[in-house]
Chain A
Amino acid sequence: MAKLNWFYFAAPNTFYPLAGKMIPWFTAAALGLAAIGLYIGFFVAPTDFQQGEGYRIIFVHVPTAWMSMFLYVVMAFWAAIGLAFNTRLSSMMAQAIAPTGALMTFLALWTGSLWGKPMWGAWWVWDARLTSELILLFLYIGFMALQASIDDPRRADRAGAVLAIVGVINVPIIYFSVQWWNTLHQGASVSITRSPSMATTMLWGMLVMALAFWMYSIAVVLVRVRAIILERERNTDWVRDLKARGAAK
């Protein structure tokens, strides 16, 4: 029996076509889930008795905030794998995730500020979670700036990996900041152990939207990683073949 080779797709030349095949599926999933999530968010979920209609921004705010933290961990994971095993593709993945993560962080901050204005009466408050989210944005920017300023891609990957691993310490700080600093930001509304303190339809809308953002992130990261693969492997035979075949078509 042939042993399943887990590392078959770890090579950029085998991953490139696979990623190309996966992109349409994830794009479709992202669009479909976003349509369902937005429908639930706008038409099914009831108006909040305290916060009125303004609360509906959470259907974008909460998923982007989740993704911003999650993507940082994923980025650090791939960067660490790339550092430990010297796999080229892992480091390219880390590099491809960073801009999407930064975008999610920025969106979370922006929508949070839009939400904060009617709720707290201020666009920005120096609350622990907002501040940690801002720090997260700085961490993403630092990671990208470090990689951009190193010309040798191998050194850029490894230096970025060390920085990402050091920065990942920040993600738990974000998560536990609510318990550490008792501030005016409301505590986490979704918890596994407690029954959720929000209406079920709101929760569903949020979860569906989170899945939509997840699918979007995967699709965009795959597109970006394909571009990075082509750029870095431009001198290899398989990319030349690809180009020749593309030209022949």
Chain B
Amino acid sequence: MGSVDAFKALVRRDLLLAMRRRADVLTTLIFFVIVVSLFPLGVGPELETLREIAPGVVWVAALLASMLALGRLFSSDYADGTLEQMVLAPQPLGLLVGAKIVAHWLVSGLPLVLIAPVLGIQYDMSWEALGILMLSLAIGTPVLGLIGAVGAALTLGLRGGGVLVSLLVLPLYIPVLIFGAGAVDAAATGTGAGAHLSLLGAFLAVSLFFAPWAAALGLRISLE
């Protein structure tokens, strides 16, 4: 089986598995919606304030949701031994990990991007800002998945893995948060989101290059 075929097959398999257990996918999405909806209850319903904090709130909620979803990335494959087979497979492990991350993003990242405008409307964001919010999430959430995969691989099978992964991964998420929320902010204030989006794109390019390799290394360390 060629590398490209293996990549496609693995993406299809992971998507199929996710579709068989839809509740898992929905949990992340519902968590995202709930967190974003909690803020007006805590901060107060004034639209002026809400409009101001909207980019940050949506982005932080997206960060937390992607972090919580990381537990599903490798754990079931680890439990039933599939992961060991992937490590032993003739195809490069980095590529297979990349396929898993792609499938993971389609299942847990893309829904966040699609639901975000609805939440933005609750915060009275302008149409332009909503567009930039979707765009920034579309570029930023894959970065979160890629960086998170490294943390998920390193903490595989450890006690207290869930809390530990947040400790490892959240600090590394901060640049994405800054530029993601910054892009929306810049769009809302009319200074132009181009620079922020370019930097997000740069993060995506760099993490696309390094993260699957680092995650593969982490998996080898965890499985040996």
Contacts and interface: CB of A to CB of B under 8 A. Distances in A.
Interface of A: 131, 135, 138-139, 141-142, 145-146, 149-150, 155, 158-159, 162-163, 165-167, 170, 173
B172 A149 contact: no
A71 B221 CA distance: 25
B222 A149 contact: no
Contact of A167 (B160, B172, B217): B172
A102 B94 CA distance: 32
A162 B154 contact: yes
Contact of B167 (A135, A145, A150): A145
Given A155-B222, A163-B168, 18 more contacts: A131-B174, A135-B171, A138-B171, A139-B171, A141-B167, A146-B155, A146-B164, A149-B160, A149-B164, A155-B224, A159-B218, A159-B222, A162-B150, A162-B217, A163-B150, A163-B154, A167-B171, A170-B171
Interface string B204-219: 0000001000100110
Report, as a range, how many residues of chain B touch the other chain. 20 to 34
Nearest to B224: A155
12 contacts: A138-B171, A145-B164, A145-B168, A146-B155, A149-B155, A155-B221, A158-B221, A162-B218, A166-B150, A167-B172, A170-B172, A173-B175
Contacts of B170: 138
Nearest to A148: B164
A173 B172 CA distance: 11
Contacts, number: 55
Interface string B159-170: 110001001101
Nearest to A141: B167
Contacts of A159: 154, 218, 221-222
B209 to A, nearest CB: 12
Contact of A146 (B168, B175, B214): B168
A135 B173 CA distance: 10
A138 B164 CA distance: 12
Contact of B168 (A142, A155, A165): A142
B158 interface: yes
A163 B217 CA distance: 11
B167 A138 contact: yes
A138 B175 CA distance: 14
A165 B214 contact: yes
A135 B158 CA distance: 24
A162 B174 CA distance: 19
Of A146, A170, A173, most B-chain CB atoms within 10 Å: A146
A145 B159 CA distance: 12
A96 to B, nearest CB: 20
Contacts of A149: 155, 158-160, 164
A170 B159 CA distance: 27
B179 to A, nearest CB: 10
Contacts of B159: 149
A167 B150 CA distance: 11
B96 to A, nearest CB: 18
A159 B223 CA distance: 11
A135 B175 CA distance: 10
Nearest to B160: A149
Nearest to B215: A162
A5 B158 CA distance: 40
A141 B151 CA distance: 14
A79 B154 CA distance: 15
Nearest to B154: A159
Contacts of B147: 166
